[in-house]
Amino acid sequence: MSSVARTLRALPTLLRIGVAETVAYRAEFLVWILTTTLPLVMLGLWTQVAAEQPFEGYTAAGFTAYYLANLIVRNLTGSWVAWQVSEEIRLGSMSMRLLRPLHPMVAFASSHLAAVPFRTVVALPIAVILLVSSGASALTTESLQLALLIPSLVLAWMITFTFMFMLGCFAFFMTKAMSLLNLYFLAFSLFSGYLLPIPLLPSGIREAAEVLPFRFMLSAPIELMTRSLSGTQLAELLFGQLAWAVAMLAMALIVFRRGIRRFEAVGG
Amino acid sequence: MKSLVSRKYETVKAVNGVTFTIERGERVGFLGPNGAGKTTTLKVLSGLLHPTSGEVEVEGKVPFRRQTKFLEAITLVMGQKSQLIWDLPPSETYAMNRAVFDVPHAAFKETLAELTDLLDLGPLLDKPTRQLSLGERMKCELAAALLHRPTTLFLDEPTIGLDVAMQVAIRDFVRSYNQKHDATVLLTSHYMDDVVALCPRIIVIDAGVLIHDGDLRQLIKTMDPDKRVTFTLTAVVADDEITKLGTVLSRDGQRITLKIPEREIATVVGHLLGTLKVADLAIEDPPLEEILRVMFGKSREAREGEAPPTEASDT
């Protein structure tokens, strides 16, 4: 009986309990989602800039589509697992998880996956607004790009989750690990396309953004929705996501493992 | 015959040079002052801490590897920490543990029914954990920790902060689980009553060093063979009438506690009941707290005595 088969058998129950948890925390959850308003602020700003004539190739409708898509992707893929992990390490409840024959990352991942239906419900009205707004004209109609949207969102979710999980695991090594999150968010805002579409970034930053993981956490699905991409560009985008998903998963597992070893040495 | 062959021994040599072996089915009290290393040892035994040296074996496994088979065989309950999901009812944590420990549904139902009955969990199962009282939560914690039917139980202060009735309930439950499933229990508690009621054997550590391992009654007998006789007088009696009977340990109005050597008990009690007229009378062993205080004092003296003399002053 392998541990994978065992985990798969446990998954339906874990997901069901995850949904129950999401329902129990619905108020906090909604507040968390509603505070993601930065894309709306940027939307207001840039549609003004591009009202008269396109700015660097972006029309007002283009900006509307970009930032609404941005909000949708952020709602579906954003993660708060870093706070949970670091709190559990700090307060010692991580010990309790270690005594269960289930990798804590799987436990956290299933409870976060369970929140996806709820997040979809929040993202749907935004999608409707996008479709009826002027932004609809700037959306792609390429069926291949639209078909790749789902795998792209899944990969974006994975990179974000594993990245955040890894950041949470830094609490094994430092007491104020969450100060790292400020740094993370700074880098994310700049390099992911959260504040500005990547083509609008100053050169230097733009080149960095193209290889760093942040673009693949947010910009990639937005690009699928709002740009017309060649076959090569599509392949670059999806394989970039896949590569970062694998790399971040490996890094998160390594940091977790190292952290656990430290935890075992000093106690928690 | 089978029990002889399959009998398991658990040999432990913890970081501080503490060595002991506990047999399957034993109930052992693990005592020591705050910071003696009790929780550390329990964490080493349950696989949460990696010992820097020495050997540990529990249920035939090396704990810190946390192999599935090992995790299925043990449980750790910490009075100060919770594994219940805070905003959901305990039944949800139970369902999760069932899935994670891969307990078949039928066995889970049976165990849960048994635990619900023994711990009187019925009304608590579907209340959100945050609404439970400390005692109710502790009972639910115990059930969560035992759903996978572990055969080795590490209980770290399972009765902390609970009232006397709840302490007794938890104690009775631990004893019945131990007897029913031939489970090994290693327990720490600040309440000596827990230890006296539950554990025929105690292991005492101080500053990470083992200072006693053996039978509880034997320890009490060796350390302080005198009994405590407590009684309440019905009439005023001259002081020297009392002091000639034995050492007066405490006197609160008409209620008096004397320290009497065991062989004089019959004479003294006879005299008390016959001549002095008492309303009630109890003969007890010296309290474990007192014994431990003496032991820890001695172990501290020994430590300080062994320390090499230094020039440095205390400041």
pLDDT value of position B313 = 37
Higher pLDDT, B20 or B153: B153
- How far B76 CA lies from chain A's nearest CA (Å)? 8
Does the pLDDT at position B310 exceed 50? Answer: no
Strands (E), chain A: none
Q: Which sign, positive or negative, has the C-alpha torsion A248, A254, A257, A259?
A: negative
DSSP string for A58-122? B-HHHHHHHHHHHHHHHHHH---HHHHHHHHHHHTTHHHHHTSSS-HHHHHHHHHHTTHHHHHHH
Q: How many CB pairs under 8 A join A and B?
A: 82
Helix, strand, or coil here: B92?
Answer: helix
Confidence of residue B5 (pLDDT cuts 50, 70, 90): very low
Checking A257-264 for CB contacts under 8 A at 24+ apart, the result is: A258/A172, A259/A89, A259/A169, A259/A170, A259/A171, A259/A172, A259/A173, A260/A98, A260/A172, A261/B50, A262/A172, A262/A173, A263/A89, A263/A94, A263/A98, A263/A172, A263/B48, A264/B48, A264/B49, A264/B50, A264/B64
Confidence of residue A225 (pLDDT cuts 50, 70, 90): very high
Q: Is A99 on the interface with B (CB under 8 A)?
A: yes
Q: Are A138 and A61 in contact (CB under 8 A)?
A: yes
One-letter amino acid at A200 equals L
Judged on CB neighbours under 10 Å (0-12, 13-18, 19+), A70 is buried
What is the C-alpha to C-alpha distance for residues B56 and B15, in angstroms, rounded to an integer?
9
At residue B43, what are phi and psi to the nearest 5 degrees? -70, -35
- How far B2 CA lies from chain A's nearest CA (Å)? 27
What is the C-alpha to C-alpha distance for residues B133 and A124, in angstroms, rounded to an integer?
41
* Residues of chain B neighbouring A99 (CB-CB closer than 8 A): 46-48, 66, 71, 74-76
Contact A98 B66 (CB under 8 A): yes
The domain defined by B2-220 carries CATH number 3.30.1360.120: no
Report A:199-238 residues touching B (Cβ under 8 A).
none
- Percent above pLDDT 70 for chain A: 99
Of B72, B95, B128, Cβ closest to residue A17: B95
Query: In terms of CA atoms, which chain A residue is nearest residue B91?
Result: A17
Over residues B208-263, the pLDDT tens digits come to 788 889 888 888 888 777 888 888 888 777 778 788 888 888 888 888 888 888 88
- End-to-end Cα spacing for chain A: 31
pLDDT value of position B1 = 39
A130 CB-near residues (< 8 Å, 6+ apart) = A64, A65, A68, A69, A72, A136, A139
pLDDT value of position B312 = 39
Nearest one of A185, A160, A181, A128 to A252, comparing CA atoms: A160
| Most confident stretch, B102-106, B194-198, B270-274, B276-280 | B102-106
In angstroms, what CA-CA distances link B261 with B228, B267, B271, B273, B283?
Answer: 9, 11, 15, 18, 11
pTM: 0.85
Over residues A101-122, the pLDDT tens digits come to 999 999 999 999 998 988 898 8
pLDDT value of position B271 = 83
Does the pLDDT at position A95 exceed 80? Answer: yes
At residue B75, what are phi and psi to the nearest 5 degrees? -150, 150
- How far A198 CA lies from chain B's nearest CA (Å)? 41
Q: Ramachandran region of residue B156, left (φ > 0), alpha (ψ -120 to 50) or beta? A: beta
Higher pLDDT, B301 or B113: B113
**Weakest-pLDDT range from B13-22, B200-209, B225-234:** B13-22
Averaged pLDDT for residues B7-34: 75
* Residues of chain A neighbouring B82 (CB-CB closer than 8 A): 93, 96
Over residues A189-223, the pLDDT tens digits come to 999 999 999 999 999 999 999 999 999 999 999 99
Does the pLDDT at position B9 exceed 70? Answer: no
What is the C-alpha to C-alpha distance for residues B141 and B103, in angstroms, rounded to an integer?
18
In angstroms, what CA-CA distances link B164 with A74, B124, B170, B171?
Answer: 53, 20, 10, 10
Q: Are A94 and A266 in contact (CB under 8 A)?
A: no
Confidence of residue A239 (pLDDT cuts 50, 70, 90): very high
What is the C-alpha to C-alpha distance for residues B289 and B238, in angstroms, rounded to an integer?
31
Read off the tokens for A64.
């509307």
| Most confident stretch, A18-27, A54-63, B145-154, B161-170 | B145-154
What is the C-alpha to C-alpha distance for residues A133 and A70, in angstroms, rounded to an integer?
15
Q: Are B220 and B286 in contact (CB under 8 A)?
A: yes
Contact B81 A95 (CB under 8 A): yes
What is the C-alpha to C-alpha distance for residues A100 and B173, in angstroms, rounded to an integer?
23
Q: Where are the domains of chain A?
A: 3-266
Of A101, A263, A267, Cβ closest to residue B100: A101
Q: Are B46 and B61 in contact (CB under 8 A)?
A: no
* Residues of chain B neighbouring A96 (CB-CB closer than 8 A): 81-83
Helix, strand, or coil here: B78?
Answer: strand
Does the pLDDT at position B314 exceed 90? Answer: no
Q: Which CATH architecture has domain B225-285?
A: 2-Layer Sandwich (3.30)
Q: Are A89 and A263 in contact (CB under 8 A)?
A: yes
Higher pLDDT, A254 or A24: A254
Contact A96 B64 (CB under 8 A): no
- How far B235 CA lies from chain A's nearest CA (Å)? 58
- How far A29 CA lies from chain B's nearest CA (Å)? 14
Nearest one of B244, B309, B312 to B276, comparing CA atoms: B244
Contact B68 A9 (CB under 8 A): no
Q: Where are the domains of chain B?
A: 2-220, 225-285
- Percent above pLDDT 90 for chain B: 37
What is the C-alpha to C-alpha distance for residues A186 and A167, in angstroms, rounded to an integer?
14
